[in-house]
Amino acid sequence: MSGTLAEELLVIARGAARAGALILDDSVGAHVSVTAKSELGDVVTDVDRRAERTIRSYINARRPDDAITGEEYDATGDGAATYRWSIDPLDGTSNFVAGIPYFGSSVAVQETASGSWVAGAVNAPALRQEYYARAGAGAWLTSRGSTVNLAGADTSSGAILFGTGFSYSREMRARQFTDLPLYMEHFTDVRSVGSAALGLCMAAEGSTSAFVETDLYEFDWAAGALIAEEAGLTVVRPRSHRGGIWAHSPHVPLTILDAPHVG
């Protein structure tokens, strides 16, 4: 793939995530229709659906032959598509409903033949932060007019923070709580922001030294994992559509054996 095409795909990913984030931002404080999904606390709103339609339209207008998979609607396109987009229109829905600012739109694009992720963006409108990355080129954070390269954690302060998230499934959540002490010998404290996409981005920018979460879908981690990887973190993606993600800075002595139920 040429660098020009990869850059074009990154521009589209950023634009699509920004388009979704504008829907989220415009809906903050407004009346939102909330519907329960599979488990207690797992909800979807009319804003999720509206943002996904907006993101899909944005991509389709620029890449009509590409496939698209997302959280709220059926996949479009076919197996012959050269590229496939994975979108989460509102990652952190529970935060959004509760008025907590850790939510955003996540968009990533994959080359279907190789399975390689090419570009990704996560736009968090309430935080005024945009994270994005292109494979082999790096990862960046743009916030309030300033852009910085992402390079993971600096542990000179002595704080080595572990980022994670918890499942809506009571059974899975109990397992996650049981696993937590196995990780903590490497860390000084734990953080959970309620969004896997932003959890991975926080590890990429160095707010935390690692992010591990089980029981995720691809759209939860697709963009964030590439951003973390391009920031220099070690990333292990799930082997199936649903599974766990594992990302850590090189200074953290983790191995996959320390991350039960991941992959």
Domain positions in the chain are 3-149, 155-258
Tokens of 203: 């590890």
> What's the pTM?
0.91
- Please write the tens of the pLDDT for every residue from 193-249: 999 999 999 999 999 999 999 889 999 999 999 999 999 999 999 888 788 898 998
- Please write the tens of the pLDDT for every residue from 102-147: 999 999 999 999 999 999 999 999 999 999 999 999 999 999 999 9
Q: In the prediction, which pLDDT does 257 show? A: 47
90 is in an annotated binding site: yes
CA distance 229 to 219: 16
- Please write the tens of the pLDDT for every residue from 14-38: 999 999 999 999 988 776 777 766 6
| Amino acid identity, position 125 | P
74 is in an annotated binding site: no
Residue 89 contacts residue 105 (beta carbons within 8 Å): yes
Angle between the 46-62 and 3-27 helix axes, to the nearest 10 degrees? 150
Q: In 3-state terms, what secondary structure has residue 222?
A: helix
220 is in an annotated binding site: yes
215 is in an annotated binding site: no
Q: In 3-state terms, what secondary structure has residue 229?
A: helix
Residue 128 contacts residue 152 (beta carbons within 8 Å): no
Q: In the prediction, which pLDDT does 99 show? A: 93
The count of C-alpha atoms lying within 13 angstroms of the C-alpha of 120, restricted to the half-sphere facing its C-beta, is 34
Classify domain 3-149 by CATH number.
3.30.540.10
88 is in an annotated binding site: yes
* Mean pLDDT of all residues in 180-184: 82
215: phi > 0 → left, psi -120 to 50 → alpha, else beta; which?
left
Q: In the prediction, which pLDDT does 129 show? A: 98
Q: In the prediction, which pLDDT does 150 show? A: 98
CA distance 120 to 99: 26
- Please write the tens of the pLDDT for every residue from 26-83: 988 776 777 766 655 567 789 999 999 999 999 999 999 999 999 889 999 987 899 9
Residues 6+ apart with CB under 8 A from 80: none
Residue 256, pLDDT > 60, answer no
CA distance 78 to 163: 36
Classify domain 155-258 by CATH number.
3.40.190.80
Residue 250, pLDDT > 50, answer yes
Residue 103 contacts residue 47 (beta carbons within 8 Å): no
